[in-house]
Structure 1
């Protein structure tokens, strides 16, 4: 029995030695030898994208959140559907993901394939691009480790129950984040991503029109704000692309204004308003509204934690040649 235990221990040690550190875990210098200009290329590419399309930061941040919360940070949300497979991006909840986020990653991937072919994963590009865009619009800088591989599977049917929906109760949303290892405070901090970006009018139509009765709306709304939303979204049935900013005060700046808006009834989505009305989340809304530095610290820590969820390394994944296709 002892001999078998020694042999098992020996085999375990050998197997660990056979896997190089760069393959088995993430690191800050993962591309130091294979693509040293990797960060610079991404920075230049996404800077140009943000300048020409100011909604790119919010779009990419949302793309990253939807990727990591649903089965891990493996860039599976970027994969296009085929005749044989309905991919994640075509799940109902992902149909509203803005095109600017996808385009930002495609541009960065194209530039990196020219400089360092078949080297940098789409998952790493998405993680770094998100961080850099958040920083570019005034948000906190945080450390991103590299070495993620791209997932080989992307199925719309695997999304259900992994992503929070605006219509969910706060208990359901808390439960989704808790299942990924996030505290209520971390969940509220990540909700602060709504300080940039927009929501489609179709997502709030039931709240602002109340079964098509134009004068009725969710009483949690500030009345003047609700009237403004009704006017802005009046043509949403004919124009499904109509949208409104999640933070009407400073829509293109990453700050804590989103949290300052909530006590005033200026939360666009039902889930936004729920953060202030629920006694479990309200203290954190008030904390972040009162102190932007606390919000930035909590957001940065939560984003770094999120970027490590379900990461694939080594031979578990692949480096996609195109982000929208599995090799």
Structure 2
């Protein structure tokens, strides 16, 4: 069981080549899911070489082909830029065009073609947050609109187009970051919408994404007092278990947002947060930067298995991740 726990983590690596520290995470801890950033990308040939090295290292360690992800939303959040990759405006711009559906399908198909060509098999997109314009909300530019109907329709369209073209999609940030004014990279936001607003607005695009067969759902590092006054969604069994699993009926892969964000790390260690998130219902624990924190989280989770975490719980999460890997990871 111990080495299998590595399959529950998605991690960043420091540079443009497969380094000794990342190789150690693969060989010693069985980690075989990765996230790439600008720091890992110089040009398509280099990115493809890096991804092939990750695949080969995982294979040599007896692990499944890795899920390799990136944030390629377009606009303000796009890790890969021109001239080698197509640059799109913010999702909001595409969504408000008269040709919104055509442009968003083109975006999704282009992402699939360009990312798969360099070995990336998962896009941490689309954003499914409902964010009305003109209110100073943090997600306004990245959102597909300000009404649940529009975000649900266009989000499902993007998911379907990406996944039909072989690229896993991950809808974010559950249960909805659209009402936040603060940036969870730095501090812990609060979205104090009523249960009626949350159900009638924020949850609607996620329900549509689930119906569309989205490969993954990413959690929000945000407190929703009407759902759980004590914990942000990432760490809340009421939200991940009660709302996402039970109320919306989602049995797919749940991915945390980066556990090194200020919203989480300001109040405790990454390792503690990883354990709480897993117990709350997350399957994939995302840690994007420091490998020492990844190892600490792995070791804490390892010690918890057989105690506060059952082997059956680990097995179910690995099955959910494995289903995505079988469908989208090649190599």
Give your verdict on TM over 0.5: no
CA radius of gyration, larger in:
1
TM-score normalized by the length of structure 2: 0.31
